Structure 1
């Protein structure tokens, strides 16, 4: 997700934003459980006490989150047609080019051509450092076609909380062609 997020950044995730309002929108940076869409089924802890402690630690930032949690930017929502690329090399959503000013400098929007209709209740997600991101493009041939179920979204990454020199809000792509 560089340059938006860097290795070592700790993000504050708003877990309520999608529970009491609209679902994820194009341009949102979301945290989601990639089980069954990006990851194999995780082995649950046999001991329920250990599982509860691990989950509490991850929720408070005292422990690492599950290896199946991902942070990516929403490019397409249910019903959208997402395509790469137009004649100028830009991603298109519903036939309109997306101005992706958040991309890592020097990165093309995608080296992998694709044309997908996002199923209802699912999301097409991509990282901001496209040449190094494992995202929806890498899972096109798998069940779900690279899309992530909305119910697997944990929340929206709203703030970088650590390190202190990086404390700031996480910019969405709302002003960059994602209506």
Structure 2
């Protein structure tokens, strides 16, 4: 006969909670926080990532401190950058992007968080520029009125801000010295892109070392390689007063 004193006592062999262990783990706040970080990391790695604009090389299109959203899926599945696209890329060894690491551990952590999330200073090797021409295209400067010429056609660039001086007959590609706007003719190599800043006279871009030259010089160009391109900048996220598509 069951002792009435123990009839309602919990079974010592059964856990206090009747839920399975995996339900208790997945239902915890710590698991939800961990899952959120994993999802956030996957989105930043494979889908879209904010990027902090560090310099004035893309003025007036982008201002120093703007946060732009980079579409990391823009060039998957055979898609390639086109003339006019604004791209973020990891600059190779030919670019002047070296900088000493922060000696302050707090600054180093903030730099790392900025690189990972895009909401702080980006890495010194990550740049944002506009695509001028892609593999196999021929580029030179300038036309009679000072425009870039791509595949024999002058390029309309309403976004250019404070270009180098160019005066037909006075300071052009036939005078000595030549206008710094002038560039030697070049064919863009395979898997490479010529990129420039919109603030043309204040951009250390792919053509900066070729300025004022008219004789062919393949060694002066710097290229954004296909494998180095992070994605396409598609919208200004911050500040809110500058929300717009790109």
Q: Where is the strand percentage greater, Structure 1 or Structure 2?
A: 1
* Aligned-pair CA distance for 1:38: 1.4
The answer to whether structure 1 residue 85 and structure 2 residue 142 are counterparts is yes
Q: Which residue is 1:114 aligned to? A: 184
CA distance in 2, matches of 1:156, 1:129: 19
Mean Cα deviation higher: 91-100 or 56-65: 56-65
Contact 1:159 1:169 in 2 (8 A): yes
The structure-2 alpha-carbon separation of the partners of 1:107 and 1:162, relative to structure 1 and needing over 3 Å to count, comes to farther
The answer to whether structure 1 residue 133 and structure 2 residue 203 are counterparts is yes
RMSD: 2.8
Once the two structures are superposed, residues 77-124 of structure 1 have per-residue CA deviations (whole angstroms, 9 ceiling, x without a partner) of 000001100111110000001110111156559624221110010000
The structure-2 alpha-carbon separation of the partners of 1:29 and 1:40, relative to structure 1 and needing over 3 Å to count, comes to closer
Runs of 5+ unmatched residues, structure 2: 1-57, 102-107, 167-179, 211-216
CA distance in 2, matches of 1:159, 1:152: 21
The TM-score normalised by the length of structure 1 is: 0.79
What secondary structure does 2:194 align onto? strand
Return the match for 1:62 from 98, 119, 122.
119
Runs of 4+ in 1 over 3 A off after TM superposition: 39-44, 51-57, 105-110, 139-144
Q: Which residue is 1:173 aligned to? A: none
Q: Which residue is 2:159 aligned to? A: 102
Larger Rg: 2
* Aligned-pair CA distance for 1:63: 3.3
The TM-score normalised by the length of structure 2 is: 0.59
Q: Where is the helix percentage greater, Structure 1 or Structure 2?
A: 2
Equivalent pairs, count? 165
Higher relative contact order (CA 8 A, sep 6+): 1
